[in-house]
Chains A and B, each alone.
Chain A
């Protein structure tokens, strides 16, 4: 009984301790960001590893999600005689929700776990300590470029996901199922608002980028420096950032679309 209480207490305290450490960590990283603009080569290299390498999975998933939306949307709308609104359904679902959220989940799984493993391994092989010995701040040299790269890549990936998703929905709806092409685009254009829908989607994806990248780099930096520790940290990154994205999505949606 007492043992159980003790475990609960320790879990709770550990949670707050990590949250605090993570917040102080991200403040240090943000403080190191302005200095990065003197060395953009670091950011470019990280955008390659974090953004460009996630391109294939994002685009392919986007195409398939768009195609499925087209199919399912058509099946439901045709019962109401409203299949001309297929463009509206596909575009609004993608731009408002699926684009930012699904691409953030894919990003967390692919790029987030890679970031955590990379930084965790640097910690385990004492490269971060070695840098500190040479008076090079590892937060500025290693972590900050990865953080900035993640925040930059995320909205771009989400936009690409939504765009190819709309094209996938167009291919299925107009190409395969016979929805009228003019109605598809014109209804979509009158229903999707630049400020309410697209801009909000971009804001969401920036927020998700910040959260996912923050969790990924922090878990790597804070990992236990053994192989098991790195593996546990990588798993935690994917799980925690996925949950954080979904929770944050609800909060942002409630704020934006109310």
Chain B
């Protein structure tokens, strides 16, 4: 093998390897999302967030408008404080929007669904959503069902 073809071969090899890494980064992973513009932060307080995790989607009318960025616990009010960032493209979310925690699909990933209110003013950076609905906890639902059945049987 003469030096020239060896060098060409190695060059092609390294180029292919870097191209493979690039393809993995661009097509296979969520790099495109990481480079998306930073959104504005909103918070919402819930009694129970169930299985909600950081990076869970925040949707409105089913369209993903943001992501959960942090989950904290307030030990004065004993509520969960969820911080999420909204894509700045969606800047017209009314002040009285409500946030609920729903479950998506079979494998049970939970997400926040926003329902628009009717206010004419919109939420801005640092705003808080006041109307919230917690996640449905299966045991509580079953417990309520059993109590109501017992109450029916007793009366």
Contact = CB atoms under 8 A, between A and B. Distances in A.
Interface of A: 41, 44-45, 47-48, 51-52, 55, 80-82, 85, 91, 95, 152-153, 155-157, 159-160, 162-164, 166, 185, 188-194, 197-198, 202
A159 B10 CA distance: 16
A138 to B, nearest CB: 22
Main secondary structure, interface of B, reads helix
Contact of B28 (A85, A188, A202): A188
A51 B21 contact: no
Interface of B: 1, 3, 6-7, 9-10, 12-14, 16-18, 20-21, 23-25, 27-34, 106-107
Closest 8 pairs between A and B when the two form their complex, measured CB to CB = A156-B17, A163-B20, A159-B20, A192-B29, A159-B21, A160-B20, A52-B13, A194-B29
Contacts of A160: 16-17, 20
B68 to A, nearest CB: 14
A145 B30 CA distance: 36
Given A48-B6, A52-B9, A198-B24, A156 B14 contact: yes
Contact of A81 (B3, B16, B106): B106
Contacts of B9: 48, 52
Nearest to A84: B105
Nearest to B14: A156
8 contacts: A82-B107, A152-B14, A162-B20, A163-B23, A163-B28, A166-B28, A194-B29, A194-B31
A194 B25 contact: yes
A225 to B, nearest CB: 28
Given A80-B106, A85-B107, A190-B33, 20 more contacts: A41-B3, A48-B1, A48-B10, A52-B12, A156-B17, A156-B21, A157-B17, A163-B21, A163-B28, A164-B20, A166-B27, A189-B32, A189-B33, A191-B30, A193-B30, A198-B21, A198-B24, A198-B25, A198-B29, A202-B21
Contacts of B34: 194
B29 A189 contact: yes
A198 B27 CA distance: 12
A250 B27 CA distance: 27
A45 B5 CA distance: 10
A8 B116 CA distance: 75
A189 B27 contact: yes
